[in-house]
Structure 1
Amino acid sequence: MTDRDATSSPDSTDSRLPEGRLLLLTDVDSTLIRNEVIDLLADEAGCGTEVADVTARAMAGELDFEQSLRARVRLLAGLDVAALGRADARVTYTSGAAELMSALRAAGHATAIVSGGFTHFTDRFRRELGIDHAYANELEIVDGRLTGQVVGEVVGPGTKARLVRELAAAEGVPMSRTVAVGDGANDSEMVAAAALGVAFCAKPALRAVADVVIDEPDLRHVLPLLGL
């Protein structure tokens, strides 16, 4: 079910979780950052409009995520690896992203980013924000160019939900103290699996299963929910 708008009291500390160490997992594209990195790469490949349309439909839950991701990545075949750096330079963190991760780290809580995007980007976010764990898809690169394929398992909805349980066990955090934040339909299983699921500037499909809805694009609004 949905709960009250969490942005109504952003300065309070109204924790909705049992006391103790927490595990917070967050999606990346349109959550931790304001961009969709595959759309940035598609702009570099000259197929931005086509890919952005598929991305929007996938995030709304109209398309199977894995099939739509593989179809979009195929359109990037032949793109020079230097395009990753150019796309990287266009990424903008969501307001409050650094503050959220800093507060969690200072309080001794565990953090993870779980993305349907790509490791080239999430590895940097993990380093810059001091995040404990990062999971994303790996783009296959041969002779300095993208092949249009991903390496290994696609990080999709089921993977995200599984990682809530696996990372909680690895960190020694009870499931009752897990938090998941996302924006798209592909985050629904992750948000439902966590004890506290947060829909952040989210699509209707995710809002329907979240415990809390935040409509203001500032991740600092998550902090009161954690007692921080």
Structure 2
Amino acid sequence: MQERGIQIKPLKQANSATLTVQSWHLDQVLSAEQRPLLRALLNDFQADMALFPAHFDPAQLRVLAIDMDSTLINIECIDEIADFAGQKAAVAKITEATMRGEIRNFSESLQQRVALLAGVSEAVLEAVYRERLRPNPGAAELIAQAKLLGLHTLLVSGGFTFFTNKLQHALGFHQAHANSLEIQAGFLTGKVLGNIIDGAGKAHCLEQVCQTLGCNKTQAMVIGDGANDLLMMAGAGLSIAYRAKPLVKEKADAAFDRVGLDAALALLR
């Protein structure tokens, strides 16, 4: 394939949970002007794209960090909890604006949304987990194979520990970090306990893991979908926007809209 002076040659092929993944090799380093041109071209062909940063070395990767809501799983948990309280439209509107980067203060956004959940039964959390939450395609395969490759797996979320704890156990993550909902007498109070994990909090969690393992952020692969993932993704060895908001796709090294999460494994070979 050749377009606007960019030559692309077949490199390798692998299978993901949803589609065949075909890798290609560029014969040049893309300029800032060429990157959006190539993205637009491949979008016309219904193809996803990954551009490796100069410092990326798959052999040096030590950590896989992934966001939960709408990345690892198919839903925004807070929106589904709100549905049981008849507040889904109001909460989802704030969630969408926050993930698009239109609301900059994630902590305030989360507090506003959680306040609308006051009085919801604790049993609703279990109902959301059992009835509505599903891992996105390729999630289990990605985590299992990453562990076999020796990567430390980190689930880090601006969502809630009720869900991250269950997913950590179900999928075998080494670590999981999220926010804790205050519950009294079996009902949500509308408050979050402790310090809120926002964009900076996610980045801090990843940096702490890297420090503990004796590596740096360039040895981490990070996957997310919303604006509050950008700080965690910045400076990573490889950043992947999964079914993400436009702002995140623009800044990530890779953007996956059509393949499963396990397509990331093709980038490690």
Superposition TM-score, scaled by structure 2 size: 0.78
CA–CA distance in 1 between the matches of 2:193 and 2:247? 28
The aligned residue for residue 71 of structure 2 is 31
Cα deviations by residue, 1:134-174 (Å, 9 ceiling, x for unpaired) = 01000000111100000001110011111221111112333
**Contact 1:164/1:194 (CA < 8 Å) preserved in 2?**
no
TM-score normalised by structure 1 residue count: 0.91
Q: Tell me how far apart the structure 1 counterparts of residues 160 and 253 of structure 2 sit (CA, whole Å).
A: 28
Deviations 1:100-139 (A, max 9, x none): 0000111111110110110000001001111011010000
Structure (1 or 2) with the larger CA radius of gyration:
2
Residue 93 of structure 2 corresponds to which residue in structure 1? 53
1:62 matched to 2:141? The reply is no
* Aligned CA distance change for structure 1 residues 144 and 220 (closer, same or farther; 3 Å): same
Question: Which stretch shows the higher mean deviation, 175-184 or 144-153?
Answer: 175-184
Counterpart secondary structure, 1:208? helix
Give the residue type in structure 2 aligned to 1:197: S
17, 28, 33: which is aligned to 2:57? 17
Structure 1: stretches of 5+ with no match in the other structure: 11-15
Structure 1 equivalent of residue 203 of structure 2: 161
Choose the corresponding residue for 1:78, options 104, 112, 119: 119
Q: What CA distance in whole angstroms lies between the structure 2 residues aligned with 1:18 and 1:94?
A: 24
Pick the aligned partner of 1:215 from 257, 260, 268.
257
Computed over aligned residues only, the root mean square deviation of the Cα atoms, in angstroms, reads: 2.1
Q: 161-170 vs 139-148, which deviates more? A: 161-170
Counterparts of 1:132 and 1:147, CA distance in 2: 30
Q: Is the Cα–Cα contact under 8 Å of residues 139 and 146 in structure 1 kept in the other structure?
A: yes
Is the 2:49–2:254 Cα contact (8 Å) retained in structure 1? no
Distance 1:210 1:46, change over 3 A: same
1:213 Cα deviation (Å)?
Answer: 1.3
Q: 2:224 aligns with which of 150, 174, 182?
A: 182
Task: Tell me which protein shows more strand as a share of its residues.
Answer: 2
Following the alignment from structure 1 to structure 2, what is the Cα–Cα distance between the partners of residues 142 and 9? 47
3-state DSSP class of the match of 2:64? strand
Map of 2:181 onto structure 1:
139
Gaps (5+ residues) in structure 2? 1-31, 51-55
Task: Return the alpha-carbon distance in structure 1 between the equivalents of residues 84 and 140 of structure 2.
Answer: 28
Partner SS, residue 113 of structure 1:
strand
Tell me the distance in 1 between the aligned counterparts of 2:99 and 2:222.
Answer: 17
Aligned-partner residue type, residue 173 of structure 1: C
Shift in CA distance, 196/21, structure 1 to aligned 2, threshold 3 Å:
closer
More relative contact order in 1 or in 2 (CA 8 Å, sep 6+)? Answer: 1
1:192 lines up with 2:267 in the alignment: no
* 1:113 corresponds to: 155
Query: 1:105 and 1:26 mapped to 2: Cα distance?
Result: 14
Q: Quick one: which amino acid aligns to residue 83 of structure 1?
A: V
Conserved 8 A contact 1:126-1:133? yes
Which of structure 1's runs of 4+ aligned residues deviate more than 4 A? 1-10
What is the rounded CA distance, in whole Å, between the counterparts of 1:34 and 1:161 in structure 2? 23
Residues 1:125 and 2:167 are matched in the alignment? yes
CA distance in structure 2 between the aligned counterparts of 1:25 and 1:36, rounded to whole angstroms: 18
- Where 2:208 maps in the other structure, the secondary structure is helix
Q: Which residue of 2 aligns with 1:40?
A: 80
Whole-angstrom distance in 2 between the partners of 1:180 and 1:107: 16
> What is the one-letter code of the residue matched to 2:93?
D
Q: Report how far residue 182 of structure 1 moved.
A: 0.3
Q: CA deviation at 1:72?
A: 0.3
